[in-house]
Amino acid sequence: MKGKEWYQADDVAEEYDSKRFSRGGRLIDDREKRAVVEAIGPVEGKDVLEIACGTGRFTAMLAERGANIVGLDISNAMLAQGREKARRAGVADHIEFLRGDAARLPFPDDHFDAVFAMRFFHLADTPAKFIAEMARVSKNLVFFDTFNGRSARVVYNWLLPMGSHLYSAPQVKRLLDGAGLRLVNGEHDFLLPYGFYRKIPNGIAQEFRDVDTSLGATAVGDALASVSYWTAEVEDA
């Protein structure tokens, strides 16, 4: 099963967090949440859209920080998990979950202060359309991550149950230029791919992560990182 079909399956949604963010995967969850918070900054009172919100990891987190947030996803099963997570966190009244297509966002231009997407572009079959829509509905900030073509992820990419698109920095820059976005910051991380961390206990994973972080701080680390976090601004903002 590939791409959208795999992602929308009920069993995938039910097991998504436990398979990816337990054991050493907790380090991935922490890093991704920090990346989102650092990119968007203070969110109290801001209108924020999360594309492909999945199980609501980031949606609930930002609602707890005071954001007025909409979480959009194509999977009803993922949205159900997100609603339950928001209910448990006590922020269900501050989040609107919508099923929709990221290539045709149901919002007017310049509707949100910030728009972001995590764990999305490796599944995107038409990335230029998605970036253009994110830019259209954002007043200012667009943030997203990509998996990189010059990384260890290439080695096991063919084992994944869904299609996985990998990107280079020049490809991302062309996508941003085409959408009228200006790159503000790009951070590169995880020489060891996510799948490695998910297979080992958290304590052991931290030791590998320390080495990974040290090597990643070098120019070689940047070049071979498996994931990149991109912060961009609307050019006419």
CA distance 80 to 98: 10
CA distance 172 to 220: 19
Residue 114 CB contacts under 8 Å (≥ 6 apart), including other chains: 40, 43, 46, 48, 49, 138, 140, 141, 142, 143
The DSSP result for 1-40, as a single string, is --HHHHHT-HHHHHHHHHHHSSTTHHHHHHHHHHHHHHHH
Residues paired with 174 in a beta bridge: none
Task: Give the 3-state secondary structure of residue 192.
Answer: coil
One-letter identity of residue 195: G
Kind of pairing between the strands at 227-234 and 138-147: antiparallel
One-letter identity of residue 35: A
Residue 206's φ and ψ, nearest 5 degrees, are: -65, -35
User: What DSSP element (H or E) covers 71?
Assistant: strand 68-73
Per-residue pLDDT of the chain (237 residues; tens, 9 = 90+): 345 665 555 555 556 666 677 778 899 999 999 999 999 999 999 999 999 999 999 999 999 999 999 999 999 999 999 999 999 999 999 999 999 999 999 999 999 999 999 999 988 889 999 999 999 999 999 999 999 877 766 656 655 555 578 899 999 999 999 999 999 999 999 998 888 898 899 889 999 999 999 998 888 888 889 999 999 999 876
Give all domains of the chain, ordered by start, each with its CATH number: 2-228 (3.40.50.150)
Rounded to a whole number of angstroms, the CA Rg of the chain reads 17
66: DSSP letter: T
